[in-house]
Amino acid sequence: MTGSFAVLVGSLPLPLLVGLGGALGALGRYAADAALGGGRRSTVAVNVIGSVALGALVASSPSDATLALAGTGFCGAFTTFSSFAVNVVRAADTGDYRLAAADALGTLATALLGVGIGWWLAGFW
């Protein structure tokens, strides 16, 4: 971040930055659910998008303030491990073990790929 916004953000306590980023991330998650209809598709989408964003952020060597606001706050609230876990358990509970395994392995693989893509993209900024 540069300019007066960076000065403002850098002057705020880290817990406040995490909270502000978290509020924005939660709103973003809500918007993604509304746009994608919620459920499994929405969960996978936000986890992959959040992984790309966090990978790019971390690879760009951000300041502590930026990492608190955008990484821990925004990405932490936007992505959702708990919904992912519920989707896997629900599928297994109904006997759909293939879907449970595909969801678990597919989400992990695409999230890791997303981090790699974000890391790679950060090299071009």
Say if residue 76 carries a ligand binding annotation: yes
Burial class (CB in 10 A: 0-12, 13-18, 19+), 24: middle
Say if residue 116 carries a ligand binding annotation: no
Lookup result for tokens 């000065």: 7
Q: What DSSP line would sit under the chain, residue for residue?
A: --HHHHHHHHHS-HHHHHHHHHHHHHHHHHHHHHHHTSHHHHHHHHHHHHHHHHHHHHHT---HHHIIIIIIIIIHHHS-HHHHHHHHHHHHHTT-HHHHHHHHHHHHHHHHHHHHHHHHHHTT-
- Residue stretches of the annotated binding site: 76, 79
Q: Annotated binding site for Na(+): which residue ranges?
A: 76, 79
